[in-house]
Structure 1
């Protein structure tokens, strides 16, 4: 049964009342013992009108959470959860400036990252690629073995917490992956007005702004909304690389009845870097010696880019029954779009001149690609307590249906010219 904020107060009231009743029963006179008698104190009745959300981390100032349902959809403490779970709370993201999902996962226990180039980062746990991504517990296909986990550049301003369940999660998502599942839990509107804003500046002319407003739309807070927006721009330690991203998130919640809540939301994130790399610089020279470059060396052309757009629309309804059971239904549509024009290098250049000839020379390789995907997901879940064989149990039952379509148009890698390229003079000037 869910705990309440006033649970300890109720217990204390019961204990004090019991002591008073033991001292004197109604209608009876306490016998004289030569000591001053104590008066019986009647405490006012306490009525609990709202349950406490033990999972939400925003506003708690905590680096942990009271409970999580990421592994089993049961509200369990981290100690009770039968899998290894790490929760990165809102407070920790704010304190450490973990502004992207990549920042979060690189600071999560049991997760390692591998960066193929400026845009593709893959996350691994227990030796396997993490490709099980969830939004509010709803599975979503994002990345793959070629493009990485696909979530590294997402902004974290929308999320109350990021939950990492290490090990297979097939209990809730179908075929399990032995690596981990990443659950991004969105912020929700509050009944009271609140607002927050921040401006930041960092290395390489990096600037970031964030605004977050939550407000009731009715006097009693029965209908409430929240808006979050971010913008980040700047340069990088890589010459010519300019990462940029902007995002928007909005949600409305309405209490149709005291026990029924409807929610509608939408989020939009655009990642538009310039000077994006594809792969890396050659590791070996033609004589077999290892190549060495400055830390800021970048071969990408000024026209190189890899733009990504992520859009999600969702609607949900939750009803809480009198017997502590609840029913939740969520419909979710997730869309992605990308457009890329990239240049890469193949071969091994000459150590002295930086030149070479195919297949041992360094030639530029170009790739152009664009595509989009759409995933529709419907999830229905019922959970609650029941008694069996003299013990209290919790049960979860539900179903999830998901359908994804995707299209992609590629220009196969080709050699941009027959003249060798000097690796020391990269990036090459743009063609006229």
Structure 2
């Protein structure tokens, strides 16, 4: 899991931007207003331009709090083009942050601002401040210096009621807001929200984001970052390349890569990130491979866990390291096997390797007397890879043979293809 930081959060201080309390809610794209703050792939957008087309809306603006820039050579108040844009179907539900001053009366909530500790002195009354309360029973704990400050405290309560109602309606909205506060440096994504309306997960909120406008490498980085805060579903998380050319109603389409990250965010929320990007992976571009394989990154938590396993091996398996220095994540599983006794043979251990160390791993396995079997790592291993060279063995003999520090011959057990001599054989010699 990533940790929070003292640097600027993903969403700036919107109370300062709006000049008062802020309501977080879900609304259709065609319900957005000038001055709202919405999400985009580049970050929050303080909307100052709305373009309506037949079935799509474009919301454009600048990061919240940014001063409007003037166009070179144009008289004031001409402004430059917006820095950020988001185009989406008019009926998609998106997260909108809006000033509470745009909202009318709320049933059951009436403002009650009163003088605190009033004392009459002749023809005037002296007060020690003002208190704020609501007809619903809410009371502010603080005493405010002016009626305006007390009134704004009540507006904060009113904004909270609208926001809590939005959270109750869609659990995914609450999860996204909470996650951005706890992990402020997660990449920005353009969220849309839905709900499951039938089945065993009825009422569960869904937060979706399409990353089609990013490059393949950028998409991988964004998904890898968000996976650290999700309980990923490996059955629905994948990356697939489809070679071209496909005939579509809009004409032939070249090869494309589809990526999907799906998982549970907790609090009855489902999170889905998708991308469908034209073009082949880097290793299949014209002119030969640019790189043998995208370099997988090992998370610090995974590296620490692998080190703990090597220091404290379990009873059913033991962990070690092949001995070479490589900081890449493992994209291949090099298994050490022997024939029989069953039809599938016996699996003795595995070395997790990158493509660059595949030959070294096979040589180590063959030299140990096993048969190598190299398979691509499954999607779950690619999202959270083991360090290259990590060894998991199922016998002391296999661990000694595959790791960098082979043990004495007497450490080998019956699972090894190299059986240690017994006492009768020693006597015959």
Shared fold (TM-score greater than 0.5)?
Answer: no
Q: Which has the higher strand share?
A: 1
The TM-score, its normalising length taken from structure 2, stands at 0.19
| Higher gyration radius (CA) | 2
The TM-score, its normalising length taken from structure 1, stands at 0.18
Q: Which has the higher helix share?
A: 2
